[in-house]
Amino acid sequence: MLYLIWKKPWMTVSRDTYASRMLALVNWQTVPEESGERYPKITLDDTAIGDASAVLLSSEPYRFGEAHAAELRGRLPGRTVALIDGEMTAWYGSRAIGALGYLARFRAELDSRQAWA
C-alpha cells in the first residue's frame, strides 16, 4: 500500500510511523519497506511504489481530493487509488478506537471494489 501524505514533493510514511502501524492492523503494509526517513520523498515510478496494488491519498496533513485521485489513476493504471480520512490513520488518542472500526470498514469496501475491477 502506498500511503501519500504530501504533494510537491510526493511524500509517504515509513513503516515506523503511527499511520503505517494503524494500516498494518488491517493487514496493509506500506511502501517503501525500508526508509532512512520517517516521511520519505518519493517519485511515482515503479521503483518507488514497488508492488503496491493500491494508493491511499490522506486528508492529513495535505488535503488530497478527487482531482488528485483522478490524476493518479491516470498516472498509475492498474492500481486502485482512494481517498482516506487521515484523522483516522494519523491521529492517536481519542480517535484510535473509532479508527480501528473505520479502517476495517474502509479495507472491506476497497477490497470489494478491487474484486469488481
Domains parsed from the chain with CATH numbers: 2-116 (3.40.50.1980)
pLDDT at 115: 59
> Which residue positions in the chain have pLDDT lower than 50?
116-117
**22 contacts: CB under 8 Å, gap ≥ 6:** 88, 89, 90, 99, 103
Return the sign of the alpha-carbon dihedral for residues 110, 87, 59, 51.
Answer: negative
**pTM for the whole structure:** 0.91
